[in-house]
Each structure stands twice: as C-alpha cells, then as structure tokens.
Structure 1
Amino acid sequence: MAEMKDRFQIKVFILYLLKNIREPLEYKIINDMVMQDGFVSGTDFPICFCELLDQEQIIEERVDGKMLYRISELGAQSVSSVEFNLYDSVKEKALRSAHRLLAFHKTGNRIESKITPRGDGYMVSCSITDNEKTLLDLNVFLTDDNYADAMKENFTERAEVIYKGVLALLSGDVNYIFDE
C-alpha cells in the first residue's frame, strides 16, 4: 500500500486508529502510531492532526501534567460513517502495529543511546531494557560523526520501530520492508 496523499483519507486514518485504541495518548505516540507503517508522511500528519483538533474531532486534555489527545464524540461519529473508505488490509496492519507500539510503551521500557569515540571512528551503542532484562543491545562502529549522530537520534526517536525491524530481519520475515 502506498503512502496516503489525500488529506481527508489521512484524517479518517488518524480517527480510525484513535477510535479503536480507546484511550487518550500523547502526541508523540499518536504520531508514531500513524506513521510507523509508512501510510502517512511526516509532513502530512501534523497538518491533518491540527485540522482535526480545530474541527473538534480530537480533544486535547491535561492528565497528570501531560497533554493527551483522544477522539471526540463528533470524531467517532464522523469516522464511523466513512472508515469503509480505508482498505481493510491497511486498517488491520495499522491497528496491529499500533497495539504493539502501545504495549512497548506501557511495559516501562527504557531506551538508551550513546556515542563513544574509538580510535579513528565512533561506536554508537543503542539499547532497550525493561525492569528485568535487556531486549536489544546493538553496537555499530562508524567513521563519520554526523552519521553517528543521525543514527543515535533516529534510534532515540524510533526505538520501537527499529526493534521491530531488527526482529524481522533476524527472523527472515522482512516482507514489511517491501510492502507498498
């Protein structure tokens, strides 16, 4: 499935996920949920999200000092009448990925990344741990400091997606890389 370009379709997609997740979420988590499978671009998401806020289809609320967002009653009614416009395969894949992402965040996983100078290059170390074990421990040697910085930043921002990718590559299940 290709990336969605139509803003109406993107808004339906965002509302569909929020309706089915059924809990208020931080903006960053919603952003990751919507974009992780490549159906929506990083430039379209914030525009569509803000329009949904302005149209009161998404509600903003402060809970325990955090700004959270949830679908409004108006948004739920709206998406119920148009969600059939999304392909079932897109809905199923996106919802499955969204639940995985939420589970990842709820388990209390800690994400760490650092750059250590080593001789003629840099060692980028990335890890994901929970209270009991190390889920991922990855070290990569690079000779370019800008590339090392970019990798560290990308891991920090998208650790769950990278973890999912490593598992898929190691298991031989890399079909999602080629999905359009």
Structure 2
Amino acid sequence: MPTSPIGGMSNVKIFVLYLMRNINYPLSFVTINDIVMQNDYVMYLDFAMAFHEMLDGGLIVEDGKDERGEALYSVTRKGTIVAEQLRSDILPAVLDQSMTYALRYLDFQRRGVSVDCFTERRADNTFDVVFTLKEKDKTIFETKINVDSEYRAHQMRKTFRDRPDVIYRGVVALLSGKVDYLFDK
C-alpha cells in the first residue's frame, strides 16, 4: 500500500512520468530516483514499485546506456499520454515546484560542481566544519560552522556530501528571505 504524501500509486506514476517527460532526455534509475526525492512527495519504496510497474506496463522504456554502462530510461508515447491525461490528479503547484527542484539538481550534476568539506579541531575541543562548492576554478559556496562534537561534524559533512544541491538551495533561500517562516516576526 502506497505511503507517499502525493497519494496512491497512480499519482506516484503520474508524478514520475511528468518529471521524466519534461526533462526530455534519458535518465538512469539512480538519477530518476534523485530527482523524485528532491522533495518529500514520494517515498522511495513507492517510487521503486511504481518504476517497475511503469517499465512492465510500457509507460517507460530502456533507452540506451550511460558512460558507466547503467541503463537509461525514457517515457514512451503511451507514458506521455497517461501523464498528460491524468496530470490533473496532482496540484499544478506541486508539479511546478518539483520540476524546478529536478532541473536545479540536474543542472548541479551536469555542471560538474565539486563538493569539499573537512573538519578542523580547535584548541577548545570544538570543531570547525568547512563546506565548499566549486564550479571549475570558481568557489560558488563556502561556509564554516563551529560545532561541539566530532560526531555532529561528521553528520554535517555526510549530509553536505549527500545533498549539496539541497544545502546550497536552502542557504540561498534563507539568505534571500524566501523562507521567512523561520524568522521571528
């Protein structure tokens, strides 16, 4: 039984088809998963189940291999028709926001942004954690935070390495005032 906030399995499939169709080039399973997981509308198990059902149902098809030999997938004509006809089951704002997140993620990946983070122990036994994103020779993001434990520093580094695009997007949103619900009024 699907547990995704977006609704039942039909909505999960429509959501995935919508994103894949609008990206409009073949993607690996891992990349499709990553773009679907950019927000919390679809749970991984629902995505995995829907993906295989869409493959078996002819809504998506294997469409070549990437440079590592992983299968790439694209939406079939049948999948496009399903996505267009049933799109109204999901709020347009949800689809638009999700598409924006997916394109930002893919842009970050395609641009080859490099991720670096490290920890320095200070004399007072706290830890400075430095986070850096570079695109070619240009630093596009760098910040340092002091934390009280090596464990917390490790967790922050792991999160940054796992989701650098989300961290970057979040910091930019905070600094530009786009998430004012976090600020006391």
Larger RCO of the pair (alpha carbons < 8 Å, separation 6+): 1
Q: 1:145 aligns with which of 121, 146, 150?
A: 150
Per the alignment, residue 65 of structure 2 pairs with 62
Per the alignment, residue 16 of structure 2 pairs with 14
Of 7-16 and 45-54, the range deviating more from structure 2: 45-54
Change in Cα spacing, 1:73 to 1:151, as seen in structure 2 (3 Å) is same
- C-alpha displacement at 1:110, in angstroms? 0.9
Q: 1:39 aligns with which of 29, 38, 41?
A: 41
Paired with 2:33 and 2:181, the residues of 1 have a C-alpha distance of 19
- C-alpha displacement at 1:13, in angstroms? 0.2
Q: Which secondary structure state, in structure 2, belongs to the residue aligned with residue 82 of structure 1?
A: helix
Verify the 8 A CA contact 1:26 1:66 in the aligned structure 2: no
- C-alpha displacement at 1:45, in angstroms? 2.7
Amino acid at match of 1:32: D
Paired with 2:85 and 2:45, the residues of 1 have a C-alpha distance of 26
Q: 1:115 aligns with which of 105, 115, 119?
A: 119
Matches within 5 A, 1:21-170: 21-60=23-62, 61-67=64-70, 68-119=72-123, 120-170=125-175
Change in Cα spacing, 1:47 to 1:153, as seen in structure 2 (3 Å) is farther
Following TM superposition, the consecutive aligned residue runs of length 4 or more in structure 1 with deviations greater than 6 angstroms are none
Per the alignment, residue 174 of structure 1 pairs with 179
Structure 1 length normalisation: TM-score? 0.84
Q: Deviations over 1:135-175 (max 9, x none)?
A: 11122222223322221111111111110100000011116
Unaligned runs of 5+ in 2: none
Paired with 2:178 and 2:48, the residues of 1 have a C-alpha distance of 31
- Count of residue correspondences: 176
Of 12-21 and 30-39, the range deviating more from structure 2: 30-39
Verify the 8 A CA contact 2:28 2:66 in the aligned structure 1: no
Amino acid at match of 1:62: K
Verify the 8 A CA contact 2:26 2:73 in the aligned structure 1: yes
Amino acid at match of 1:35: M
Paired with 2:127 and 2:37, the residues of 1 have a C-alpha distance of 30
Paired with 2:26 and 2:81, the residues of 1 have a C-alpha distance of 17
Aligned residues: CA RMSD: 2.4
Larger Cα-atom Rg: 2
